[in-house]
Chain A
């Protein structure tokens, strides 16, 4: 079968043009968005004088990895990362625990004033951390927790978002499953741990991701309750890093990469939970 060239050629050219156009657009946007990260990587592999040299080096022909070690050790990124990891993991685990327990209780356990107490928990969504920093810092000082891990962790042991999400999820567990398990002698605790929790693994993954990200990225609170490197988290560490001299810009860039690395790895692993995990917190004011 022969195609009539006059009929097919024009749409084909037009399509080719439009595809090229799209690639050009995509390319421009990718360069704009990707460039800051790209140049960060490049600069972290250069020496400080190379970074300052003009015209700039856009491709490191002789990468030098030393800046990472310097950032990790001399600029204390290692300690900051360790602190962040401790704080973040503890917050994430605790938030999961308290949210799952409370969410389940609000969904499936009967007790007086359940609705009122639930509304109180949801009301916390409307109180932003930023509005309570002044009294909260005083509380931390009064408790003798200033510049310590408890100051970074304890205020975040519970999450209104988590309670809300898990309550919704547990309300969605069919009543027949409860009944079937009850006939086999499962009380609330065993039903929760053996059935309700395994059933909601995707939500747990998404919420864990959300909790991790928001704890890891905290800035204001750690800034006002810490003052020494021993307890500073990596975000505050970056503030120290930024103050480094012009002759150490390579270390600054390497440090930002080190600080972003754990999140980058986490997002790669949890790609499937990404959207839900990122939007979970959108409930929060």
Chain B
């Protein structure tokens, strides 16, 4: 009699558990796991060159051919360049701004507000503003850069990717600034005071005390930034559409073009799987790191 009651109580508890987990699990099943599997599977079929023909099973060969193809390597190169243009500069700028604004000066709040203001802008907002300001006809920036008329910056093969990167940098700077400021403020004053008493000059203090204590946040911002840059789509779509001459055709935009401009689902699927694997490695690296420093000892 006792075990019976216990069992029914346990069973009721388990039922409640499943019930509460089910909504989330259902969504994940349909919109995360199923499409992931399907993407891998779609990559095994070659999309026919003309619509209304049956797609052809080609096995893993499509993976091999796409991943070694020049367009894929080109898009990967563009993506990596984009990461290099945006991430390190963003972090350096974020730390510099945070250090600059982390002082007891009159009116410092105004500066902090300005520095963090770009968090309110979405990628689309930032892109549209810059697109208009860089317009070769009426854009103020084009005018100041002496580019009035003629080819605009975004239409210039050499300058397009750097320009997109600057827009991205600007849009992200608010977030990086807030992140770095929070990290700076969490450094105990005693540590800096101790360094001051030890006679360390302010630059030395910053380099030898502040920066090392900031390093976990820098790492964090780095990984988040890299992952974010791999997923950056809106600014490409709004500023350059992958152009000019594919010079801003990053991986994610290549997928978009393949799938929704050229209807080449097989190609898009292979590229998606590649993107997934790249991001998986980056995320696992991040988890490995967080596991070690944040979630230490908190497993149930």
**Chains A and B share a contact (CB less than 8 Å):** yes
A-B pairs with beta carbons under 8 A, tally: 272
Task: Please tell me which one of the listed residues A23, A127, A171, A285 contacts residue B282 in the complex, with CB atoms under 8 A apart.
Answer: A285
Residues 236-271 (chain A) with a chain B CB within 8 angstroms: 236, 238-239, 241-242, 246, 249, 252-253, 255-256, 259-260, 263-264, 267
Residue B14 at the chain A interface, CB threshold 8 Å: yes
Residue A168 at the chain B interface, CB threshold 8 Å: yes
Interface code A152-166, partner B: CB below 8 Å = 1, 0 otherwise? 001111111001000
A154 to B31, CA, bound (A): 9
A44 to B275, CA, bound (A): 39
Residue A81 at the chain B interface, CB threshold 8 Å: no
Residue B153 at the chain A interface, CB threshold 8 Å: no
Residues of B within 8 A of A106 (CB): 21
Residues of B within 8 A of A138 (CB): 38
- Also in contact, A238 and B128, with CB within 8 A (given A23-B105, A36-B133, A39-B133): yes
Residues of B within 8 A of A278 (CB): 119, 175, 178-179
Q: How many residues of B contact A (CB 8 A)?
A: 94
Stretch of B61-69, B80-88, B208-216, B226-234 that contacts chain A: B226-234
Residues of A within 8 A of B115 (CB): 29-30, 33
A139 to B237, CA, bound (A): 24
A282 touches B220 (CB 8 A): yes
B121 touches A139 (CB 8 A): no
Residues of A within 8 A of B255 (CB): 130, 133-134
Residue A17 at the chain B interface, CB threshold 8 Å: no
Q: How many residues of A contact B (CB 8 A)?
A: 93
A116 to B127, CA, bound (A): 42
Stretch of B49-57, B70-78, B135-143, B191-199 that contacts chain A: B135-143
Task: Please tell me which one of the listed residues A33, A48, A136, A239 contacts residue B118 in the complex, with CB atoms under 8 A apart.
Answer: A33
B140 touches A274 (CB 8 A): no
Interface positions of A (Cβ within 8 A of B) = 19, 22-23, 25-26, 29-30, 33-34, 36-37, 39-40, 48, 51-52, 54, 56, 97-99, 101-102, 104-107, 109-112, 114, 117, 120-121, 124-139, 154-160, 163, 168, 171, 188, 216-217, 219-220, 223-224, 234-236, 238-239, 241-242, 246, 249, 252-253, 255-256, 259-260, 263-264, 267, 274-275, 278-279, 282-283, 285
